Amino acid sequence: MSDSTTQSIDAAWETLFSALDYDEGNQQARWSEEVERRLKENGLTYQAHTSKHRQNRRGQLDVVPYLMSEPTFEHLARGLSQRMRFFEALLNDIYGERHLLADGSVPADLLFSNPEYLIEAHGLNPQTPWVSFLAHDLVRDKGGQWFVLGQSTRAPAGLGYVLERRLIISRVMGYLLRQMSVKRLSGFFRMLRQFLRSDGRDQDLSILMTPGQSVESYFEHAFLANHLGFTLAEGDDLTVRSNRLMLKTLSGLRPVSGVLRRVIDQNIDPLELNSTSRQGTPGFMDAVRRGGVRMGNVPGSGVIDSPLWMGRLEGLCQKLLGEESILKTLPALWLGDADEREEFESLWPNILVRHASAFPAGESFVVRDLPDAERNILKARISADPSSWVAWQSVDLEKVPVAEGTARRESFAVLRMYTAQSQDQKVDVMPGGLASCNHDASWAQLRPNTPERYKDLWIMGTEPDNQLSMFAEMDAPALGPVDQSMTPSRVADAMFWLGRYVERADGLTRLVREVLAGAIDVRIERQQAALWLLGTQLKIDEINFEDAASEIHQLIFTRTAPGGLDELITAIMRNARATPDYLSDDAWRALVNLEQMIERIGWMKHADAGRLLDQVDSILMQLATFSGLNNDTMSRTFAHRFMNIGRYLERTSKTLTLLNHAFQTLKPQDINHWEFVLEVTDTVMTYRRRYRTRLHPTAILDLLLLDDETPRAIGYLTAHLESLVQALPVQQLGGRKTQLQQLAFRIHAGLQMAQTDDLMTIQGSPKKPLFDILDQQIETLSSLSEAITLAYFSHADVPQQLVKVS
Amino acid sequence: MRYRVRHRNRYQYGQPVSLCHSHAILLPRDTLNQQVLSARLTILPLIEDVHERQDLFGNRVSQFSIDEVHTELNVLAESEVEVRPTRVDLDRDIAWDDQSVIPAKTRLYCRPSVYVPMGHPEIQRFASEFFAAGRGLLESTNALNEVIFHEFVYDQNFSDLETPVGLVLSEKRGVCQDFAHLMLATLRSKGVACRYVSGYLETDPPPGQPKLMGADASHAWVSVFVPGTGWIDFDPTNGLFPSERHVTLAWGRDYGDVVPLKGLMTGGSQHALEVSVDVTPLE
């Protein structure tokens, strides 16, 4: 390294430290708090994305970045690019001609012990590079020598996190990044967006394939897909027809041209590979084999992730490329080799040991820290199957500073850097990444995936990079407008039900509020009217006070009570999680708050009715916030439209049922009851403003059934339902759209001909035609819901396995 | 001997199936003593586009998918094969622990696999009964083959695909598949390269000879790699060396590599399967 490089990096550290040490180090402490707060805030939102809540799953983010000079980065980048070329050659041989196996350069047991070795990948002959994305872990020892610790094809694992952390750091200490000319990441991400396009055709449909909301990193998949402009898809969203991979969308099956996947090799195709996994798509391997899809990391490429290769990569590089490896790999011993095993024995117990499995799952041991009994168990396991183990002497890692209050202490770091290779084999290295830190040097190199804290990696350019802004890092995909009809059917399905459940929760909460308020009213008529209202919900004609109390109790406190609050919030969250990239951050926050409020009310069994009412009120407000946010911030996509269809269907059906019950059971003089009808539909004010009379059933009917300007009136709802349904994409399956249109038209038109005089007597009693209309509306509504399900969501069938022939 | 083999699979579904992806390993391969004269697959509903490829083991894999609604799937494999007798010379034996000469590619057959897990202490003990120091590979394997044949009960109601080999050993019962897997686990625990062979038996024995076990369905046996000689077949279910009464279909590490018909379908709910196998001599 030249003197000028050393000088410039020293100067950079000085600039950084003087900024951190400002105000006797309080600047560093403040920034740390700020970073921590922002991470937590994000964390709350992100945790909501996965069904399993986990605490502290992500390490802290250090405000002291890992600084790297541009010449050092360029040296590493050259080395990493060479490794991309090398792995390509290695994979071609392993799954192709197998020369390396025949001549012994790759020991048979080393390859066959590798749990990621996929015999089904033989003969795939991909038309694309085997590896499009690769993450490398690198370390530097005290003498400044770089070593590669390992690599992962499960990239872009962590890419979303890299982006998130850089965003936080640049929000908190953005001016420093500018001042120190830190390289931006946006160029690399722009490249990624293009990577699956061979010829830049705009019609190409690229997807990010995710295992779904059961995995912890689901949020990251959604975040990344959104950022790259890829459609987030699960195995069930895809199907293979005539050896082409297709996405099930609202407008039928659409061919997929590129797949970036976070589903591991073994789980990608239940027909050919792991038959117990539900994450894949039957026929996927045949689609790859017959050239129907471009893959980011072809199945089988995971074989290079195993640590078994560690000690052999440099020799293989020389052999395959005829070039000396630019980067050294950590000199590890493979215990399947007799000589290396012997050397291992002589180093015992001052040695680190790792199992063959790829990084996240692989077991690892610091032998000198093990009690005798465990050492013996490990020894026996190694003897039973030596070729599944590697070992190395702990590297004397360089120390890096980490923030500690207003001061700093030392730690050890492993760098994670990312490379991408386009279809025409052009390699790009991300000018940034993450450093994972551990106070123990051995654990830092054994488990870089579970560090105590992370650092942002700053590559300092010699010249200031273009004006850096938050949005510059996040700039919008350089694609044309996304074709809305590409929305996966599953997303539309989930949005539809999200809308229905939110509305249902709204209805229930409103009802509970009115019934509670009525029940504590001193007037006996109010109390009875409250009971009547509850009966409407429960579809019971007569209900006494005791039963009412227990029913209300059920609905708000009992977990898993059918139709209760707990069941509704569970359904809301489940459907929201299925569509993470369609909701805004604020909408997510509203949902998380809602979930917490409902959880809190579960603890209020013994609270008095007044406090309970307050809590119910806040839930209602939170529901309104969520709906309002979606209407304000969500673009008018198909997904959004399905959510509104769900809401309107639910609301229409609720109001129809209420009206039916009211006109069947109430007399004109039941003023208190009629008042509840208006309160539960939130139309008291409208009624007063418009009719300026005391309550009269005919006026109520006019308002709630026929009016087309009041958002809770059937007239208004059906008019909107009709226009929403008419604007849905035309199905390729013939005929169904017509039926849908007819139903939507019928439900709206059925009301337009109605006149109040035909439905009500002058005295305010209902005539028979009223009930005919209500019945017909209810029936049409349920047909409409079924027709939508059939036309747009009917892919829900999950493939099942043929019983095996014995 | 020349045989005609007919292997018929018939699936009947309780509900219509709208999409089905399948892989079949039902067309026999050539071997050193077997020549496939003709082989074809007939699928109903009629499928024109059947794609055939060879897997890593050299087996013939037929791939097809049906995307029309159907309630029944018929897959008929018909072939004519010529099988020549083989003779095993037990005197051309080598020490079983001399495995330094197993070629790299063959070492795949030394590793554990889905149906043949390793490290089972009872199986290791069982293996030590046959593989004592200084004994020959053929000699030991043959003794193992005989013991499974004589001491284990052929019982069609005992096991299914999920039955672990440890249970087959402790209960001493099972079908050809179980015996083959147990034998493989025993051999591999001693580092012997060995593979699972699927195939058929002649349905009706020649006059004067007993009918072999497993003759009405697919059969399975074991092949052992003997350095310097090559692959030698053993049939532990019948306690003999397969010769011209065995028709080889395919081989792999275990059953998982040679499943005759795999499929994933959308719809269908319950389904029933009928299988019939006929192996008739042509001379």
Residue type, A716: Y
Q: What is the structure's pLDDT at A52?
A: 47
Q: What is the structure's pLDDT at A476?
A: 41
* Residue A381: inside a domain: no
Give the mutation candidate from B264, B270, B276 for the A interface (greatest A CB count, under 10 A). B264
Q: Which of A239, A290, A805 is opposite residue B19, by nearest beta carbon?
A: A239
β-bridge mates for residue A800, sequence order: B265
For the cut 90, the answer to whether the pLDDT of residue B256 exceeds it is yes
Query: Closest approach of chain A CAs to the CA of B205, in angstroms?
Result: 22
User: What band does A479 get if pLDDT is binned at 50, 70 and 90?
Assistant: very low
For the cut 80, the answer to whether the pLDDT of residue A86 exceeds it is yes
Query: Closest approach of chain A CAs to the CA of B105, in angstroms?
Result: 7
Burial class (CB in 10 A: 0-12, 13-18, 19+), A52: exposed
* b (16+ CB within 10 A) / e for B236-264: bbbebbbbbbbbbbbbbbbbbbbbbbbbb
β-bridge mates for residue A208, sequence order: A232, A260
Cβ-Cβ contacts under 8 Å, A286 against chain B: 21, 51, 63
Do A23 and A160 belong together in one domain? yes
Cβ-Cβ contacts under 8 Å, B65 against chain A: 240-242, 283
Interface of A with B (CB under 8 A): 98, 101-102, 104, 107-109, 112-113, 119-120, 122-123, 239-243, 270-272, 275, 282-283, 286, 289-290, 384-385, 797-806
Longest distance between any two alpha carbons in chain B, whole Å = 62
Do A98 and B105 make contact, defined as CB atoms within 8 angstroms? Answer: yes
Do A800 and B268 make contact, defined as CB atoms within 8 angstroms? Answer: yes
* Domain region containing A607: 487-633
| CA-closest candidate to residue A389, choices A371, A368, A365, A372 | A365
Q: Which residues contact A753 (CB under 8 A, 6 or more apart)?
A: none
Kindly identify which residue of chain B lies nearest to residue A106, measuring between CA atoms: B104
Q: Which of A104, A123, A801 is opposite residue B264, by nearest beta carbon?
A: A801
Q: Which of these three, A602, A633, A664, is where a domain ends? A: A633
* Residue A347: inside a domain: no
How far is the C-alpha of A167 from the C-alpha of A505, rounded, in Å?
36
Cβ-Cβ contacts under 8 Å, A337 against chain B: none
Q: How many CB pairs under 8 A join A and B?
A: 107
| CA-closest candidate to residue A136, choices A67, A77, A185, A177 | A77
Cβ-Cβ contacts under 8 Å, B49 against chain A: 242
Do B267 and A123 make contact, defined as CB atoms within 8 angstroms? Answer: no
Tokens representing residue A502 in the block: 């939110």
For the cut 90, the answer to whether the pLDDT of residue B268 exceeds it is no
Do A710 and A771 belong together in one domain? yes
Q: Which of B104, B259, B267 is opposite residue A804, by nearest beta carbon?
A: B259
Q: Which of B49, B218, B264 is opposite residue A270, by nearest beta carbon?
A: B264
Q: Which of B56, B161, B266 is opposite residue A119, by nearest beta carbon?
A: B56
Kindly identify which residue of chain A lies nearest to residue B9, measuring between CA atoms: A805
Beta strands A258-261 and A294-296 are parallel
A54's enclosing H/E stretch is none
Other beta carbons within 10 angstroms of residue A575's beta carbon come to 22
Write the pLDDT tens digit of every residue in A290-322: 877 888 889 999 999 999 999 999 999 999 999
Q: Which residues contact A787 (CB under 8 A, 6 or more apart)?
A: A736, A739, A740, A743
Kindly identify which residue of chain B lies nearest to residue A795, measuring between CA atoms: B266
Do A508 and A459 belong together in one domain? no
Give the mutation candidate from B21, B55, B277 for the A interface (greatest A CB count, under 10 A). B21
- Higher pLDDT: B43 or A225? It is B43
Kindly identify which residue of chain A lies nearest to residue B12, measuring between CA atoms: A802
Do A661 and A771 belong together in one domain? yes
Contact yes or no for A257/A299 (Cβ under 8 A)? no
* Residue A536: inside a domain: yes
A532's enclosing H/E stretch is helix A524-538
Do B11 and A802 make contact, defined as CB atoms within 8 angstroms? Answer: yes
Write the pLDDT tens digit of every residue in A212-221: 877 777 878 8
Write the pLDDT tens digit of every residue in A718-758: 999 999 888 887 654 455 556 788 888 888 888 887 888 88
Q: What is the mean pLDDT of residues B255-273?
A: 87
What is the total count of domains within chain A?
Answer: 3
Write the pLDDT tens digit of every residue in A9-66: 899 999 999 999 999 989 999 999 999 888 877 765 565 555 444 444 456 889 999 9
Q: What is the structure's pLDDT at A469?
A: 42
**Predicted structure pTM score:** 0.84
How far is the C-alpha of A232 from the C-alpha of A209, rounded, in Å?
6
For the cut 80, the answer to whether the pLDDT of residue A210 exceeds it is yes
Contact yes or no for A634/A640 (Cβ under 8 A)? yes
Contact yes or no for A677/A662 (Cβ under 8 A)? yes
Write the pLDDT tens digit of every residue in B197-215: 999 998 777 777 777 766 7
Tokens representing residue A3 in the block: 């003197």
Cα torsion A208, A210, A215, A219 to 10°: value is 30
Burial class (CB in 10 A: 0-12, 13-18, 19+), A697: buried
Helix A684-691 with A671-680: angle, nearest 10 deg: 110
* Residue A299: inside a domain: yes
Q: Which of these three, A419, A441, A473, is where a domain ends? A: A473
How far is the C-alpha of A569 from the C-alpha of A575, rounded, in Å?
10
Query: Closest approach of chain A CAs to the CA of B11, in angstroms?
Result: 9
Out of A458-472, A571-585, A757-771, least confident range: A458-472
Give the mutation candidate from A266, A278, A802, A804 for the B interface (greatest B CB count, under 10 A). A802
Kindly identify which residue of chain B lies nearest to residue A103, measuring between CA atoms: B104
Do A513 and A451 belong together in one domain? no
Q: Which of A113, A290, A805 is opposite residue B273, by nearest beta carbon?
A: A805
How far is the C-alpha of A157 from the C-alpha of A159, rounded, in Å?
6
Q: Give alpha helix (H) positions in A322-422.
A: 338-347, 372-384
Do A620 and A645 belong together in one domain? no
Q: Which of A113, A290, A805 is opposite residue B111, by nearest beta carbon?
A: A113
Query: Closest approach of chain B CAs to the CA of A579, in angstroms?
Result: 24
Contact yes or no for A173/A188 (Cβ under 8 A)? no
How far is the C-alpha of A9 from the C-alpha of A540, rounded, in Å?
78
Q: What is the structure's pLDDT at A499?
A: 93
Helix (H, G, I), strand (E, B) or coil at A410: strand
Do A134 and A166 belong together in one domain? yes
* Residue A508: inside a domain: yes
How far is the C-alpha of B267 from the C-alpha of B18, rounded, in Å?
6
Q: What is the mean pLDDT of residues A767-771?
A: 90
* Residue A648: inside a domain: yes
In order of start, what are the domains of chain B with their CATH numbers?
2-84+259-281 (2.60.40.2250), 104-255 (3.10.620.30)
Give the mutation candidate from B175, B262, B269, B273 for the A interface (greatest A CB count, under 10 A). B262
Q: What is the structure's pLDDT at B192?
A: 95
| CA-closest candidate to residue B179, choices B112, B257, B236 | B236
Q: Which residues contact A17 (CB under 8 A, 6 or more apart)?
A: none
Cβ-Cβ contacts under 8 Å, A804 against chain B: 161, 259, 261-262
* Residue A350: inside a domain: no
Helix A524-538 with A638-665: angle, nearest 10 deg: 130
Do A645 and A622 belong together in one domain? no
User: What band does A805 get if pLDDT is binned at 50, 70 and 90?
Assistant: very low
Write the pLDDT tens digit of every residue in B95-143: 998 877 899 999 999 999 999 998 899 999 999 999 998 899 999 999 9
Q: Which of these three, A612, A633, A654, is where a domain ends? A: A633
Do B264 and A290 make contact, defined as CB atoms within 8 angstroms? Answer: no
| CA-closest candidate to residue A623, choices A509, A494, A497 | A509
Do A679 and A663 belong together in one domain? yes
Write the pLDDT tens digit of every residue in A670-717: 888 999 999 989 899 899 888 887 888 999 999 999 888 888 899 999
Do A561 and A649 belong together in one domain? no
Do A108 and B105 make contact, defined as CB atoms within 8 angstroms? Answer: yes
How far is the C-alpha of B149 from the C-alpha of B153, rounded, in Å?
8
Cβ-Cβ contacts under 8 Å, B104 against chain A: 101-102, 104, 107-108
* Residue A434: inside a domain: yes
Cβ-Cβ contacts under 8 Å, A123 against chain B: 53-56
DSSP 8-state code for residue A486: G
Contact yes or no for B187/B138 (Cβ under 8 A)? no
How far is the C-alpha of B61 from the C-alpha of A728, rounded, in Å?
44
What is the percent of chain A with per-residue pLDDT over 70, rounded to a whole number?
Answer: 89
Do A644 and A627 belong together in one domain? no
Query: Closest approach of chain A CAs to the CA of B264, in angstroms?
Result: 5
Kindly identify which residue of chain B lies nearest to residue A239, measuring between CA atoms: B19
Q: Which residues contact A592 (CB under 8 A, 6 or more apart)?
A: A44, A45, A47, A48
Contact yes or no for B228/B177 (Cβ under 8 A)? no
Query: Closest approach of chain B CAs to the CA of A276, in angstroms?
Result: 12
Q: Which of A101, A107, A797 is opposite residue B267, by nearest beta carbon?
A: A797
Interface of B with A (CB under 8 A): 9, 11, 18-19, 21-23, 49, 51, 53-56, 63, 65, 67, 104-105, 107-108, 110-111, 118-119, 160-161, 175, 177, 217-218, 257, 259-268, 271, 273, 275
Do A113 and B105 make contact, defined as CB atoms within 8 angstroms? Answer: no
Query: Closest approach of chain A CAs to the CA of B32, in angstroms?
Result: 22
Q: What DSSP line would sit under B66-134, residue for residue?
A: E-S-EEEEEEEEEEEEEE------TTS--BTT--TT--GGGGGGGS-BTTB----HHHHHHHHHH--TT
Do A558 and A604 belong together in one domain? yes
